[in-house]
Amino acid sequence: MRPENYRPVSHPPSHEYELYFGPNHPGIEGNYAIRVRLKGDEVQEAIADGGYLHRGFEKIMEERLWIQNVALVPRICVPDPVPMEECYSRAVEQLGGLEVPARAQWIRVMMLEMSRICAHLFTFGGNAATIGFYTNMFWGVSMRDLFLDLFEEITGARIYHMYITPGGVRRDLPEGLLDRLAALLDDLESRLPDFEDLFFSNTVVINRATGTGTISAEEALAWGVTGPNLRASGLPFDVRRDDPYLVYPELEFEVPTMKDGDALARMMVRKAEVLESIKILRQVIARLPHIEGPVRCPLPNPLAWNIPAGDTFARVESSKGELGFFVVSTGGAKPWRVHVRGPSQMHAVQVLERLLARGRLEDIAQIMFSLDACPPEVDR
């Protein structure tokens, strides 16, 4: 518990009680706690209490060489690590004036979208699990594992790929990978109706999620909501489209939205985004074989690599929302300051506290997971 959240003795009225929700529970992809004050089943007040996964990423990064941070950044978000690598690398590229070769840009887009699908498949399961529906979780996680197999082939690692570096990616794709990716996408697409039947069209689920944790468009803007959560409230902002990076301008994709802003809307937007990611990946599979060239621009010796002084902000659309890295260099071999603008910070603290205060005890886990926040990204 954070010291500021600690209150030694409290004497709530006899009909009220406090519940310490967490830090281990099905509502989130990691350790995270909430102090909830309830009256019966109705939540009166919720105070987010993070810090369980705090490893001081931002501070550690100041002590590491520019290249060494490549090994650190994916750890800031376990279910969706690739945007971290992309965002950090792009910030360094912006400061150092590095140009990413075309082939590397396409490979990066491929990695980002594969990671997005993985993260959303994870969320499919998590959303279901919060309302006691574990079959969906097994399906989602097993499907995600097939993507991890491909990640393993490309990068040599399943979760923390450490693959995207400033200037490109670490190595080219293995022989025949795009074919295997195409087959996997077909497989995934053929499985989606199963998810649809079991979960997304399930009357029980729809009734349960409708109107739970509703965020209006005005509130979403005021609270700093981004990503699928924002689009579920009817605001179609997507960094990939509206502040494009890499080769996204050359790709055709839609930005799915819903107006309701409740847990169901957030689920549906994520489901639709999986389809869009499949669409993007198919375009990558078609284009990538025709793009020759290196996968990384020449880098200096990493032990003697100074980045020119300056500061920059780079942002990407992660599966959680708008992820940004603010990086300051004083011209040295290490960053002077790195600030991670994790979308989960907003979703898991200010948004969650407000949504829970309107909700009921049984909705807590569902609301949490529908926001798809990632605790290490809150703590970083």
Partner 1 sequence: MEQKGTKTRPRKLYEVPNMDVTPKNKGSFLRPLKALSFLFREPVTLPMEPRPAAENYRGFHVNDWEKCIGCGTCAEICDNEAISMVHIPDLPEDHKNGIKPRRPAIDYGRCCWCALCVDICPTGSIALSREYIHISREMNTFFILPDEKGMHGLGYPIGWGKNEDSDLLDLKRQPMGEVEPEARSDNFDEIVDGFDAHTALIEASRCIQCGMCHEACPTNMHAPQYIRAIWEGNVEKAVEEIYRTNPFPQVCGRVCTHRCETACSIGRRGEPVAIRWLKRYAIDAVSPAKVKKIALADKAKKKSGKKVAIVGSGPAGLTTAFDLAKLGHAVTVYESKEKPGGMMRYGIPEYRLPYDKLDADIAVIEAAGVAIECGKAIGRDIGFDALRSDNDAVVVATGLGQGRSTRIPGSDQPGVFSAVDLLARVTAGESFDLKESAAVIGGGNVAFDIARSLARLQKKTFGKVDVTLVALEARDRMLADEEEVIEGGEEGVKVFTGRGPKQIVVENGAIKGLETVLCLSIFDEEGRFHPKYDEADVILHPAAMVVEAIGQATDVSYLGKDVTEALEWERGRIKIGRDGSTAVPWLFAAGDMVEGPDVIHAVAAGHRTASAIDTFLGGGSSKLEAAE
Site for partner 1 in 314-373 (CB under 8 A): none
Question: Using CB under 8 A, which of 56, 211, 289, 300 touches partner 1?
Answer: 300
How far apart, in whole angstroms, are the C-alpha atoms of residue 281 and residue 273? Answer: 12
Measure the CA–CA gap between 136 and 120, rounded to whole angstroms: 12
CA 374 from chain centre, in angstroms, equals 7
For partner 1, the closer CB: 46 or 91: 91
Q: Closest distance between partner 1 and the C-beta of residue 7, in Å?
A: 38
11 SS3 class: coil
Q: How many CA atoms lie within 13 A of 375 on its CB side?
A: 23
Residues 88-147 that bind partner 1 (CB under 8 A): 90, 93-94, 97, 99-100, 102, 105, 135, 142
Closer CB to partner 1, 89 or 344, in the complex? 89
Residue closer to partner 1 (CB basis): 200 or 325: 200
DSSP 179-213: HHHHHHHHHHHHHHHHHIIIIIT-HHHHHHHTTTT
**Which region, judged by CB under 8 A, interacts with partner 1, from 36-44, 111-119, 197-205, 277-285?**
197-205
Structure tokens that stand for 15 in this block:
């009909």
Cα angle 184, 188, 191 (rounded to 5 degrees) comes to 140
For residues 244-283, which are near partner 1 according to CB under 8 A?
A: 244-247, 249-250, 254-260, 265, 268-269, 271-272
Reference 163, options 79, 85, 231; nearest CA is 85
Q: Which stretch binds partner 1 (CB under 8 A): 29-37, 77-85, 241-249, 359-367?
A: 241-249
- Cβ at position 337, least distance to partner 1 in Å: 18
Q: Which stretch binds partner 1 (CB under 8 A): 37-45, 66-74, 117-125, 319-327?
A: 66-74
Among 24, 42, 171, 216, binds partner 1 (CB under 8 A): 171
Query: Which one of the spans 43-51, 151-159, 179-187, 345-353 is the region binding partner 1 (CB under 8 A)?
Result: 151-159
Which of 28, 215, 220, 235 forms a contact with partner 1 (CB under 8 A)? 235
The nearer residue to partner 1, 251 or 367, going by C-beta atoms, is: 251
Q: Residues 88, 114, 323, CA angle at the centre, nearest 5°? A: 35
Site size toward partner 1 (CB under 8 A) is 79
Shortest Å, Cβ 31 to partner 1 = 20
Question: Interacting stretch for partner 1, rule CB under 8 A, among 10-18, 115-123, 228-236, 356-364?
Answer: 228-236
Measured between alpha carbons, how far is 335 from 338 in angstroms, rounded to an integer?
A: 7
| CB of 141 vs partner 1, minimal distance in Å | 13
Q: Is residue 241 involved in binding partner 1 (CB under 8 A)?
A: yes
Cβ(380)–Cβ(340) below 8 Å:
yes
Nearer to partner 1, 24 or 201 (CB): 201
Q: Pick the closest to residue 327 from 346, 308, 344, 299 (CA basis).
A: 308
* Choices 1-9, 113-121, 190-198, 361-369 (CB under 8 A): range interacting with partner 1: 190-198
Closer CB to partner 1, 21 or 165, in the complex: 165
Q: What letter does residue 360 receive in the DSSP assignment?
A: B
Q: Which residues contact 32 (CB under 8 A, 6 or more apart)?
A: 22, 23, 48, 49, 50, 52, 53, 348, 368, 373, 375, 378
Which amino acid, residue 43? V
Question: What number of residues does the chain have?
Answer: 380
Cis preceding linkage at 300, omega within 30: no
DSSP character for 134? H
Among 8-16, 49-57, 237-245, 370-378, the segment contacting partner 1 (CB under 8 A): 237-245
